[in-house]
Amino acid sequence: MTDLSAARNRRDRNTRWLLLTPAMLVLLFAASGPLLIVLVYSFLTPGDYGGVEWQFSLQAWTNVLAERDIFTDEWQLADAHLTVLWRSIKLSFMTAVLAFIFGFPTAYFIATRPPRQRDIYMLLIMIPFWTNLLIRTFAIMELIRNQGTVNTLLIAMGVIDEPIQMLFTEFSLLLGMTYVYLPLMILPIYASMERFDFSLVEAGYDLYATRLQVLRKIIFPLVKPGVVAGSILVFVPCLGAYVTPRVLGGGKQLMLGNLIELQFGQLRNWPLGAALSLTLLVIVMIALLFYVRAVGREGETNV
């Protein structure tokens, strides 16, 4: 390499760092840096009034899954935590399945419209997605609460006498999260369907396949990466959901996010909260690894 390109490389490097500095400062101060402190806090002892004592302890990490019985002083599984963890995973999974059942036909419907219409339909999907999550959760809450639209309507029609309790149940969480995260399923499925070559379907029919067989054997395998991506995109934010379970679960149906918040609020156990946060982070990262692999594979097939 000549001196010339070396000098140019050096100049390039300096410009690059200068350009990146503002973004990196913001992110280090308010995103990445604090995460490291969470790691440190998870190994400390809780303070009496919140905060921490600067004393090393593994207790928080043990407490994620186990707790010491107050009376017998024996270790046992932390039922409360496990219930919440199980509910989080179960509801996230069911939400992804529901979102697929409704999202796949919708994405297919949009992808089979003429190009100009597709844009409009996608805008219709994007608008709810980018509008306030809290407001959309409120909207669901107002629909299903005891004095809400659905119950009032049913009583007025004489179908029921007493309001049906829908709010603060697992059903309400499932409904709310499916409603809120449905666009995240539709977007990637649509993205892979938009590029789908429908002459393949014609070839399928030409070779005696029925509609269902065409769907199962031709369309689905080719848009599967989009389905995987969509499922992960729904599953991941559900796992960490905080607002939806707080509004629709009302403190009765805790999910991981609410359990973490409790440690920083009423329960004043910051190290446990830190350890639970990192547990959530690890689960999410594993799910994202699947996502990267799915999307990576999709990229290859499209080259």
Q: Contacts with another protein in 232-291 (CB under 8 A)?
A: 236-237, 239-240, 242-243, 246-247, 256-257, 260-261, 264, 270, 273-274, 277-278, 280-281, 284-285, 288
Residue count (the chain): 303
CB-based contacts of 117, cutoff 8 Å, min separation 6: none
Judged by CB under 8 A, the chain residues 173 through 232 that form the site for another protein are 179, 182-183, 186, 198, 201-202, 205, 211, 215
- What gap in Å lies between CA 238 and CA 178, rounded to an integer? 9
**Spatial contact of 275 and 105, defined as CB atoms under 8 Å apart:** no
For residue 150, the minimal CB distance to another protein (Å) is 9
In the numeric block, which tokens belong to residue 75? 């270790």
Q: Which is nearer to another protein, 75 or 198 (CB)?
A: 198
Residues 6 or more apart whose Cβ sits within 8 Å of residue 249: 168, 172, 173, 255, 258
Nearest distance, CB of residue 287 and another protein, angstroms = 10
The count of residues interacting with another protein (CB under 8 A) is 98
> Does residue 165 bind another protein (CB under 8 A)?
no
Sole window of 63-71, 83-91, 139-147, 294-302 interacting with another protein (rule: CB under 8 A): 139-147
Told to check if 160 binds another protein by CB under 8 A, we report no
End-to-end CA distance of the chain: 33
Residues 6+ apart with CB under 8 A from 257: 240, 241, 242, 245, 246, 280
Q: Is 85 in the site for another protein (CB under 8 A)?
A: no
Binding to another protein by residue 22, rule CB under 8 A?
Answer: yes
Judged by CB under 8 A, the residue of 127, 159, 160, 286 near another protein is 127
Residue 171 makes contact with another protein by CB under 8 A: no
Task: Among 78, 125, 234, 272, indicate the residue that binds another protein (CB under 8 A).
Answer: 125
> CA nearest 104: which of 212, 226, 217?
226
**Angle, alpha carbons 242-245-37 (nearest 5°):** 20
Q: Determine, following the binding rule CB under 8 A, whether residue 124 of this chain makes contact with another protein.
A: yes
Angle at 272 between CA 38 and CA 233, to 5 degrees: 65
**Residue 143 engages another protein in binding (rule: CB under 8 A):** yes
Q: Which of 93, 138, 171, 290 binds another protein (CB under 8 A)?
A: 138
Candidates 35-43, 63-71, 164-172, 223-231 — which segment interacts with another protein by CB under 8 A? Answer: 35-43
Contact region with another protein (CB under 8 A), list: 64-72, 81-89, 99-107, 223-231:
99-107
Instruction: Give the long-range contacts of residues 83-86, CB within 8 A, separation 24 or more.
Output: 84/254, 84/255, 84/256, 84/258, 84/259, 85/256
User: What is the C-alpha separation between 109 and 258, in angstroms, rounded?
Assistant: 37
* 64, 89, 94, 139: which one binds another protein (CB under 8 A): 139
Which residues from 52-71 bind another protein, rule CB under 8 A?
A: none
User: For another protein, which stretch binds (CB under 8 A), given 5-13, 62-70, 87-95, 164-172?
Assistant: 5-13
How far is 138 from 162, CA to CA, in rounded Å?
A: 22
